[in-house]
Structure 1
Amino acid sequence: MNTHTAAEKMLETGKFYTALEIGREFGESAKRGSGWLYNIRMSSRYETIETELPNRRVKVVAIDGRRVTIDQLQNKALMFKRPASLIENAIL
């Protein structure tokens, strides 16, 4: 799990996340989630919308200028959903 994976998930859902919520999404701690949110907020790769403190919430609206996830782009290019056997993190 890394910052980019967290950002992709946030872009996919289109929701605002706190550190606790993004940590729970991946079965990690709020401290780890806080690190991901900090990296996302500070990196020029990610375009975000943020609420004020306390209880800051972050929403990813673009990654490297694209406003849809890689999975969504691939599905659109293939014109159908990718089979599980072709997905990198497929659980069989």
Structure 2
Amino acid sequence: MDQSELLEAALLAHPSVARLDGRFASYLPGRRVDGVRTDDRRVGVAVVLHPGRPIPEVVDELRATVIAVTGNRPVDVVVADLEDP
């Protein structure tokens, strides 16, 4: 499994993430992974969250999830939207 796909699965497993946003994307053979962009220097993720928890706390948790998968690189977390309840 590609690192982008691992990140996709890890982020979608977080209970506050409703879906990933296409603001960032990784292109794999025959597939586009929305919401995830990686390179040698940094990682970017874009998410749509379920409302109900403080956004800064969720962002910290998501950053820790990304670092656990990709190693210690700077992580940009974009909260693109909140899901309608």
TM-score w.r.t. the length of structure 2 is 0.28
Q: Which protein has the larger Cα radius of gyration, Structure 1 or Structure 2?
A: 1
Greater RCO (CA < 8 Å, at least 6 residues apart) = 2
Which structure dedicates a bigger proportion of its chain to strand?
2
Which structure dedicates a bigger proportion of its chain to helix?
1
TM-score w.r.t. the length of structure 1 is 0.27
